[in-house]
Amino acid sequence: MRKQLIVGNWKMYGSHSANAELLSGIAAARPFMADVAVCVPFPYLSETAVALAAHGIHWGAQDCSAHEQGAYTGEVSAAMLAEFGCRYAIVGHSERRTYHAENDPLVADKAKAALARGVTPIVCVGETLAQREAGETEAVVKRQLSAAIHALAHCVGEMVVAYEPVWAIGTGRTATPEQAQAMHALLRAQLRAATPRADDMKILYGGSVKPDNAATLFAQPDIDGGLIGGASLKVADFVAICRAAD
Ligand code: PEP
């Protein structure tokens, strides 16, 4: 049986005081049945590591460079993330695909760079509303996952996949548990064709997960937890979502 994983994506929110309150609130609410992690803005990795180190909660980043090192101003390498004790790096979040023109090959290279340094990539896939309405959902999501599968080759089984329909991110619109399960089952089938480890891999759901819809989503057989945006910034909500996972 797969252990569930709940990952908070803080996006570009935070301050020293707000972070301290959030992190101590999460730590104080332990233990959780699920694995729990927070992916924070780069400048806050150090304080997050200090706040969480003794609490069995993991932390990570929201992106990582596809390059090892070099003249790439503004980029942060996987080696640097590893030095900060990052367990995870989100790659290919729809906000990066949209606002930073990240495409499938780049996202796949980022996932590969992360894994090469022992940082688990959380590879995000998901369709836009226009793609869903055009009946392209399955093709889009399969194409996105396929790029990561090919880049990671024999290490495919080490990534975490997050299915995040773009129309559900930050909108208050959630995929129904049935819609989400159908997509997760499709992704699992695609992973099964690529690795014997597919049934041990985690596929997270993301998109307006809240305390009141988390348990039903997480109860679906192929949903192994969640990638949580807005609700991960409120201690009570995030803790309630973590508790909804078993
Ligand atoms: C996200 O940022 O990955 C996300 C799912 O956001 P939200 O939970 O706010 O929809």
For 93-119, the pLDDT digits (tens) are 999 999 999 999 999 999 999 999 999
Q: Distance, CA 210 to ligand 1 centroid (Å)?
A: 10
| Ligand 1 site, CB within 6 A | 9, 11, 164, 169-170, 206-209, 227-231
Which H/E stretch holds residue 17?
A: helix 16-28
pLDDT at 213 over 80: yes
d(CA 169, CA 121): 19
Please give the pLDDT value at position 93: 98
Best of 5, 209, 232 for a ligand 1 pocket test (most atoms within 8 Å of beta carbon):
209
pLDDT classification of 160: cutoffs 50, 70, 90: very high
State what percent of residues in the chain have pLDDT above 70: 100
For 26-48, the pLDDT digits (tens) are 999 999 999 999 999 999 999 99
pLDDT at 237 over 80: yes
Best of 5, 169, 204 for a ligand 1 pocket test (most atoms within 8 Å of beta carbon):
169
Enzyme catalytic residues: 93, 164
Q: Who has greater pLDDT, 174 or 142?
A: 142
Residue spans of the domains in the chain: they are 5-244
Evaluate if pTM is beyond 0.85. Answer: yes
Please give the pLDDT value at position 158: 98
Q: Distance, CA 171 to ligand 1 centroid (Å)?
A: 9
Please give the pLDDT value at position 98: 96
Q: Distance, CA 12 to ligand 1 centroid (Å)?
A: 12
Ordered alpha helix ranges (H), 164-218: 177-192, 211-218
Residue 164 CA: which ligand 1 atom is closest? 5
For 65-83, the pLDDT digits (tens) are 999 999 999 999 999 999 9
Best of 164, 173, 204 for a ligand 1 pocket test (most atoms within 8 Å of beta carbon):
164
Please give the pLDDT value at position 101: 96
pLDDT at 1 over 80: no
Ligand 1, atom 1: closest residue by C-alpha: 229
Q: Distance, CA 242 to ligand 1 centroid (Å)?
A: 15
Please give the pLDDT value at position 85: 97
Please give the pLDDT value at position 240: 98
Please give the pLDDT value at position 113: 98
Query: How many degrees, rounded to 5, is the angle at CA 219 between CA 135 and CA 235?
Result: 100
Please give the pLDDT value at position 246: 78
Non-local (6+) Cβ contacts of 112 within 8 A are: 66, 151, 152
d(CA 126, CA 94): 8
d(CA 98, CA 113): 21
Are 2 and 34 within 8 A, CB to CB? no
Q: How many residues does the chain have?
A: 246
CATH architecture type of domain 5-244: Alpha-Beta Barrel (3.20)
Query: How many degrees, rounded to 5, is the angle at CA 170 between CA 210 and CA 226?
Result: 45
Q: What single-letter amino acid sits at 185?
A: A
Ligand 1, atom 6: closest residue by C-alpha: 229
Q: Distance, CA 70 to ligand 1 centroid (Å)?
A: 31
